[in-house]
């Protein structure tokens, strides 16, 4: 039996989602860990999030992850991402207001 190759999704919806997640993780690390460059844990979370987004089964029809019925993140990454979003969410309005509004509308 041959393994089925799945192409990563790099469409506009997924690309925008990746950009928002990247900004949130970078903001979190900068504010919470006082780092200009991502620490090892935050870099690991960012890499994992980018991979999961690239292969999201909903592709360009993706909604906000909080609305999704399928949790594709492993538990430890899900908990880390929740912490990042809780912390960064309030800062995103200040640093990236357009991303914040679009994210709220996507919910």
For every one of its 107 residues, what pLDDT tens digit does the chain have, with 9 covering 90 and above? 555 557 788 889 899 889 999 999 999 999 999 998 999 999 999 999 999 999 988 888 887 777 777 888 999 999 999 999 999 988 888 888 887 777 666 65
Q: What is the pTM of this model?
A: 0.84
* Residue 94 lies inside a defined structural domain of this protein: yes
Number of domains in the chain: 1
- CB within 8 A of 55, min separation 6: which ones? 6, 8, 9
CA distance linking residue 11 with residue 36, whole number of Å: 29
* Residue 1 lies inside a defined structural domain of this protein: no
* Residue 2 lies inside a defined structural domain of this protein: no
> Residue 19 CB: number of other CB atoms within 10 A?
12
* Residue 93 lies inside a defined structural domain of this protein: yes
What domain range is 25 assigned to?
12-59+66-106
* Residue 16 lies inside a defined structural domain of this protein: yes
* Residue 97 lies inside a defined structural domain of this protein: yes
* Residue 53 lies inside a defined structural domain of this protein: yes
* Structure token digits, residue 88: 């960064």
CA distance linking residue 60 with residue 74, whole number of Å: 22
């Amino acid at each position: 039996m041959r393994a089925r190759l799945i192409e990563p999704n790099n469409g506009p919806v997924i690309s925008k989602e990746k950009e928002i997640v990247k900004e949130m993780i970078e903001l979190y690390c900068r504010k919470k860990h006082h780092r200009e460059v991502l620490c090892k844990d935050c870099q690991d979370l960012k890499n994992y999030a980018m991979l999961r987004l690239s292969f999201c089964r909903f592709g360009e029809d993706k909604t906000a992850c909080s609305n999704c019925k399928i949790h594709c993140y492993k538990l430890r990454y899900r908990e880390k991402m929740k912490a990042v979003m809780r912390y960064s969410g309030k800062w995103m309005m200040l640093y990236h207001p357009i991303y914040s509004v679009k994210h709220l509308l996507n919910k």
